[in-house]
Amino acid sequence: MLFVGANRHAAPAFPPGAKGNKLLDGAAINYLHNPKLEIVSSQQSPQGKPIIVTQSSRGQSGRRPGTISKCLSGIAGLDEVTGGGLPRGRASLICGSAGSGKTQLAMEFIARGARDLNEPGVFMSFEESEDELKSNVRSLGFDLDDLIERKLVALDFVAVERSEIEETGEYDLEGLFVRLQHAIDSVGAKRVALDTIESLFSGLTNTSILRAELRRLFRWLKAKGVTAIITGERGDGTLTRQGIEEYVSDCVITLDHRITDQLSTRRLRIVKYRGSTHGTNEYPFLITDSGISVLPITSLSLNHAVSDERVSSGVSRLDTMLGGQGYYRGTTILLTGTAGTGKTSLAATFVDAACRRGERCLYMAFEESQDQIIRNMWSIGIDLQPHVKKGLLKFHASRPTFYGLEMHLLVTHMLVEEHHPVIVVVDPVTNLVNAGSTMDVHAMAMRLVDYLKGRGITALMTTLTGGGRNLEQSEVNISSLIDTWLLVRDIEADGERNRGLYILKSRGMAHSNQIREFRLTDRGIDLLDVYLGPEGVLTGSARLSQEAKTQAAETERQENAQRRLLEIEAERKSLAAQVSALEAKISLQDKELHALASRQAAQLQRRETDATAMARSRQADDGLTPRPKPVREKTKGAR
C-alpha cells in the first residue's frame, strides 16, 4: 500500500490482507454505498476481516422533510447567494485558477466557524506549511494560534513530494484517512478543509485509480458527517484538472480573477447545489483586511418601503420649489449638468444640512480628494471638516479605474455596512464609465439604487453632461431610476455664462416648473427669480440691467405718485381754504340775517308799544281790547 506524505509509513487502517480499497465485509460494502452511514470504529474479525461499525450520520434529524440542513459559512454575502450556507455534512468543491482566492475562502470558512459559530474545524494543507498559513491569515484579522490553543482549530501540513512517491501496487488514501480522523477527533471538528486536492494526486498517473480514490474521499467525508470544503485548480476546459470532483461534490463554487480592459475583478459563481435553490449569476467578491465579502448584485423584486418624511436640500428656495419641504427620505436624487455648473456644491450643501441635523453621510468622490472638496466648499461658506471630525461625514475618494464596476459597488456596500449612513452621495456617477461600458454603468447604478432604497437611504448622484448633448438626458441613462431630477445649466447671453436650475421631475409631490438663476456666493447657494426679456431668460448683467431699469421705472413711478400726491394735497388745501372762506362768508351772512331779523322784530315791538302808549295818553279806544256785551234783565211774568 502507498501512503501519502509523512504518513506513508503509518499503520494502515485495515490489515494487509485487505488489498487497497477492496473491502471484504458486508458492512464495509454497505458503508461505501450508503453515504448516510458514518464510521465509528474499524476492528478485525476472528478471520482477520475488517469490521466497520456504522451509525447514522450527523445532522440528519430535526430537519423538515424535503429540505437539506445548511452550514453558515460566516463569509459576508456567501450565505445570501447560497440560500443559507453550504450543505451541512457534505462536501463542497471550490475551484479556480491560481490566485483566485480558493485557499482564502477555505481558511476563512474554518476560522469563522471556529471563532464565530462555535464549530471547530480542521484545515489540511498540501501546499503551505502551518507557519505560512498562520502568517497569511493573521493579516486578515484571524489569530490561528489562539484558536489552536483553545482546541477550536487543527492545522495539518501534509508534504507531498512527487520525487518521494513510488507507484507500486494499488494506491489508496488510508493513510490520509487515519491522519484526518486523528485531527478531527483532536478538536471535535465539524468542519474540514482540504487544500488543494491536485497536490494529493500529483504523482499518480493511473486515472482509473485516481477517480476511484476521489470518489472514495468524498464518500468518506460525507460519511463522517463533517461539512467539508475541498479546493481544486481549474483544468483545461473543465472546472478541475481531473474533471471528476465537480460530479461527486454536492456543491460546486467557481472563483474567477479576470482582467478586462486592464481592470481586475474577482467573481464567484455557484455552478451547482444539490437539493437547494441558489443564486445563479456571477457575484463580485473582494478580499480585504477583514476577509472575503461577496456581493449579491441582482435585485429580486421592487418591494422597497417608502417614507412620507421630507428632508431639506439645504437651500431654502429649492425646498420651496420642491413643494415647500424638500426631498422624500429614502429616494434617489439626480443632479445633471455640464462642467462647472455647481453640482458638487449642491451635493455638499445637502450633506452639510444633513450633518447639522445629526445624520450620518457617506460621500463617494471620483474626481476630487477629501481635502480638496473641503477646501473648495470653504469658498461658498460651507465647512465640512467639523462633520468629518465628529464622524458624521465619511469620504471615500478613489479613481474610477482603480478597479472594476463590481468592486466599486462592493466597496460601497462595505462602507454602508460599516458607516451606517442615512445619506449617500455619488459624485459623479458618470466617471464610472471609465471602468466599464455605459450599459455596465447603468446596471451598476440600478443595483446601487435598489440597494440604497432597500435600506431607506437617501441617495444623491451627480452626472456630467457633455456639451452639445440633449441636457434632459443623462449620460448613463439612469433617469428612469430617479425620483427627483434637477438640472443645472449654463445660460449664455450678452457675452456671459450664468447658471440656471430647474426641476425636471419629482415623483409624488407638486413642484415648481420655473427656472431659477443659480448663484454661488460666500454665504452659500442663492436661487434668484429670473427676468424674461425679448430674447428669453435674463441672467447675470442682463438681469442686473433689467433690475436697474425696473428699479428706475419704479422710482419714477413712485416720484410721479408722490408729486401727484403733493399736487392733490395742495389742491385739497386750496379748496379747503376756499371752503373755509365761503363758510366764513356764509357765517357772516347768517349773522347779518339774524341781526336784520332781530332789528325788524324790535322795530315792530316798538311801534306797537308806542301805539299803545299813545292810545292810553288820549284815553281812546285802542281798538285792541273788545268791550263787553250788555246784558238785559228779565221781567217777572214774562215768557
Q: Classify strands 458-464 and 423-427 as parallel, antiparallel or unpaired.
A: parallel
Q: What is the pLDDT of residue 473?
A: 55
Domain co-membership, 356 together with 487 = yes
Residue scoring higher pLDDT (21 or 355): 355
Q: What is the pLDDT of residue 49?
A: 35
The number of distinct structural domains making up the chain is: 2
Position 593 in a domain: no
Residue scoring higher pLDDT (460 or 290): 460
3-state SS, 307-342, equals: CCCEECCCCHHHHHHCCCCCEECCCEEEEEECCCCC
Position 142 in a domain: yes
Domain end among 529, 553, 573 = 529
Domain co-membership, 188 together with 334 = no
Domain co-membership, 98 together with 238 = yes
Domain co-membership, 377 together with 412 = yes
Q: Residue 158's domain spans which residues?
A: 69-294
Domain co-membership, 326 together with 408 = yes
Residue scoring higher pLDDT (632 or 589): 589
Position 248 in a domain: yes
Position 59 in a domain: no
Position 45 in a domain: no
Domain co-membership, 379 together with 275 = no
Q: Classify strands 227-233 and 91-96 as parallel, antiparallel or unpaired.
A: parallel
Give pTM, 2 decimals. 0.61
> Using 50, 70 and 90 to split pLDDT, how confident is the model at 200?
confident
Position 437 in a domain: yes
> Using 50, 70 and 90 to split pLDDT, how confident is the model at 135?
confident
Domain co-membership, 211 together with 322 = no
Q: Classify strands 291-294 and 283-288 as parallel, antiparallel or unpaired.
A: antiparallel
In the predicted model, is pLDDT for residue 370 greater than 90?
A: yes
Q: What is the pLDDT of residue 540?
A: 67
Domain co-membership, 265 together with 346 = no
Domain co-membership, 246 together with 222 = yes
Burial of residue 298, with CB atoms counted within 10 A of its CB: 0-12 exposed, 13-18 middle, 19 or more buried = middle
Position 575 in a domain: no
Domain co-membership, 432 together with 290 = no
Nearest alpha carbon to residue 405 among 362, 359, 437: 437
Domain end among 261, 294, 327 = 294
Domain end among 294, 322, 348 = 294
Domain co-membership, 192 together with 317 = no
Burial of residue 55, with CB atoms counted within 10 A of its CB: 0-12 exposed, 13-18 middle, 19 or more buried = exposed
CATH number for the domain that contains residue 165: 3.40.50.300
Q: Where is mean pLDDT largest: 336-340, 471-475, 482-486?
A: 482-486
Q: Are 102 and 240 in contact (CB under 8 A)?
A: no
* 339: Cβ contacts below 8 Å, ≥ 6 apart: 464
Active site residues: 127, 367
Q: Are 514 and 320 in contact (CB under 8 A)?
A: no
> Using 50, 70 and 90 to split pLDDT, how confident is the model at 164?
low
Percent of the chain whose pLDDT exceeds 70: 76
Task: HSE, CB side, 13 Å, CA atoms: give it for residue 333.
Answer: 27
Rounded mean pLDDT of the chain?
79
**Over residues 394-401, mean pLDDT:** 88
**Over residues 289-306, mean pLDDT:** 71
Domain co-membership, 316 together with 358 = yes
**Over residues 538-551, mean pLDDT:** 72
Position 382 in a domain: yes
In the predicted model, is pLDDT for residue 509 greater than 70?
A: yes
